[in-house]
């Protein structure tokens, strides 16, 4: 890697964002300059402890390699901020924090739910509502007075409906099967769902998953297929996505009401892969639903990766100046950490975007 301004100061922050399908890690100096970054593909929801911690450490090691920081020389930074799906309760944060601290990556370890990263990345006001909708779904609300609203986000066990990409994939396969056997309306998903897995019929996909030849985790790959069908006019696919949009609205507006922000110009930040589909109808349904409860709400889709929010929280922890936060915001976008088709990818100097 080439030498960059501020590089001599070394890493001050290790920031990690972990979700249901990947973990992103970046090393940042005190000036907000990114020294190294990596994405590690793998389920890193810490609600399913064990392998998730391993995925996080793999991402960290890859980011260290990208920054030319020997990962065996620990700590690699004074502060580590981890914003993680599955860290839904204080007890989760404590459990995961202990596990990460044992690795000795940083002198101090801060664990938060991934919604905190989305809120921090999406607004600089320090309060508002954030909804994450990727493989799963969760919501965080913070009032101007610091009062907080959170949700368990444990799926059907906590009353969640149509909660994210995992659910969309399962619903899409179910719709394809019902179309095939006559229980449901005909849909393009009958063909496109099995085609995604290189199969001819939806029942072949079902049997492969039932018998363990195809992982059920791969259902999370199907939302783009559903969005494509819906944007082509398929009513079954559109109904699936409408249910997800309505659950986003339900979570966001519940937080708004509980914080008594219905009359405020509250920032509502939407983050996660389901909001990056380019489907105007999906986005419009979410915004309309939120504005029916909070007409002055500022509804925005997060344009940068959530790991940006973890990095900004790290800069907050060390009392960095505003110039550092501005530098970090300018220096990172989705291309900074995204690479498709690889289990692990660290970025080189030519990949940085200011």
Domains and CATH numbers, the chain: 7-121+304-351 (3.30.420.40)
Looking at residue 121, its pLDDT comes to 96
Residue 27: strand pairing partners = 14, 36
What is the reported pLDDT for 221?
Answer: 94
Which of 87-101, 161-175, 285-299 shows the lowest mean pLDDT across its residues? 87-101
Residue 330 is predicted with a pLDDT of: 92
pLDDT of residue 354: 26
Interior angle at CA 61, CA 302 and CA 77, nearest 5: 80
CA atoms within a 13 Å half-sphere pointing along the CA-CB vector of 313? 28
Spell out the alpha helix ranges (H) of the chain: 51-66, 90-102, 114-122, 165-181, 189-196, 202-210, 223-231, 235-258, 280-293, 307-317, 322-331, 334-337
What pTM does this model have? Answer: 0.87
- Rounded CA-CA distance 63/60 in Å is 5
pLDDT of residue 159: 93
Which stretch of 69-83, 180-194, 233-247, 329-343 has the lowest confidence by average pLDDT? 329-343
φ and ψ at 292, to 5 degrees?
A: -65, -30
Q: How confident is the model at residue 177 (pLDDT cuts 50, 70, 90)?
A: very high
pLDDT at 284: 97
Locus of tokens 């030519």 = 350
What is the residue-averaged pLDDT of the chain? 89
DSSP label at residue 40: E
Q: Which one-letter DSSP state was computed for residue 304?
A: S
- Residue 48 has a pLDDT of 57
Of 1-5, 160-164, 202-206, 349-353, least confident by mean pLDDT is: 349-353
State mean pLDDT over 115-120. 97
Q: What is the pLDDT of residue 90?
A: 85
- Separation between Cα atoms, residue 280 and residue 290, nearest integer Å: 15
Token output for 204: 């072949």
Torsion of CA 242, 244, 249, 252, to 10 degrees: -170
In this predicted structure, which of 5-9, 121-125, 220-224, 342-346 has the lowest mean pLDDT? 342-346
Question: Could you report the per-residue pLDDT of 135-154, keeping only the tens digit for each?
Answer: 899 999 999 999 999 999 88
Is 60 exceeded by the pLDDT of residue 326?
yes
Which of the residue ranges 114-118, 295-299, 335-339 would you say has the lowest mean pLDDT? 335-339
Of 70-74, 116-120, 177-181, 205-209, give the lowest mean pLDDT range.
70-74
User: Measuring CA to CA, which residue among 95, 133, 92 is closest to residue 115?
Assistant: 133
- How many beta carbons lie within 10 A of that of residue 295, not counting itself? 10
| pLDDT surpasses 90 at 255 | yes
> What is the spatial distance between Cα 252 and Cα 141, in angstroms, rounded to a whole number?
8
What is the pLDDT, as a whole number, of residue 45?
65
Give pLDDT, residue 15: 97
pLDDT band at 299 (very low <50, low <70, confident <90, very high): very high
Q: In what order do the strands lie in the sheet with 298-301?
A: 148-150, 137-142, 128-133, 267-271, 298-301
Sequence-separated (6 or more) residues with CB below 8 Å from residue 171: 162, 226, 240, 243
Structure tokens, 29: 């100096």
Instruction: Give the relative orientation of helices 223-231 and 235-258 as an angle to the nearest 10 degrees.
Output: 110
Instruction: pLDDT band for 47, please (50, 70, 90 cuts).
Output: low
Q: Mean of the pLDDT values across residues 337-343?
A: 46
Q: What is the mean pLDDT of residues 163-181?
A: 96
Give the pLDDT mean for 199-217. Answer: 96
| Residue 46 confidence (pLDDT) above 80 | no
Output 332 or 16, whichever has higher pLDDT: 16
């Amino acid at each position: 890697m080439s030498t960059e301004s501020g590089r001599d100061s070394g890493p001050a922050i290790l920031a990690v964002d972990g979700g249901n399908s990947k973990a992103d890690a970046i090393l940042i100096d005190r000036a907000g300059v990114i020294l190294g970054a990596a994405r590690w593909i793998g389920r890193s929801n810490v609600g399913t402890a064990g392998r998730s911690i391993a995925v996080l450490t793999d991402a960290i090691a890859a980011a260290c390699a990208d920054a030319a920081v020997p990962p065996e020389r620990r700590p690699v930074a004074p502060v580590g901020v981890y914003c993680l799906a599955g860290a839904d309760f204080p007890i989760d944060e404590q459990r995961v924090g202990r596990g990460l601290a044992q690795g000795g990556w940083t002198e101090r370890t801060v664990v938060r739910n991934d919604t905190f990263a989305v809120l921090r990345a999406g607004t600089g006001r320090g309060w508002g509502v954030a909804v994450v909708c990727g493989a799963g779904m969760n919501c965080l609300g913070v009032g101007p007075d610091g009062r907080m609203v959170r949700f368990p986000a444990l799926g059907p066990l906590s009353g969640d409906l149509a909660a994210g990409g995992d659910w969309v994939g399962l619903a899409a396969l179910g719709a394809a099967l019902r179309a095939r056997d006559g229980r449901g309306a005909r849909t393009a998903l009958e063909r496109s769902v099995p085609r995604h897995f290189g199969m001819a019929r939806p029942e072949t996909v079902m049997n492969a998953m039932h018998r363990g030849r195809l992982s059920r985790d791969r259902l999370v790959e199907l939302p783009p297929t559903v969005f494509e069908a819906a944007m082509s006019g398929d009513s079954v696919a559109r109904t699936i996505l409408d249910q997800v949009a309505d659950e986003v609205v339900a979570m966001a507006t519940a937080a708004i009401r509980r914080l008594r922000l219905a009359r405020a110009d509250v920032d509502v930040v939407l983050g996660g892969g389901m909001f990056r589909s380019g489907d105007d109808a999906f986005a419009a349904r979410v915004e309309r639903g939120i504005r029916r409860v909070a007409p002055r709400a500022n509804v925005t889709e997060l344009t940068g990766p959530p790991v940006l929010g973890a990095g900004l929280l790290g800069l907050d922890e060390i009392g960095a100046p505003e110039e550092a936060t501005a530098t970090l915001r300018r220096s990172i976008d989705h291309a900074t950490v995204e690479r498709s088709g690889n289990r692990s990818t660290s970025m080189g100097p030519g990949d940085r975007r200011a």
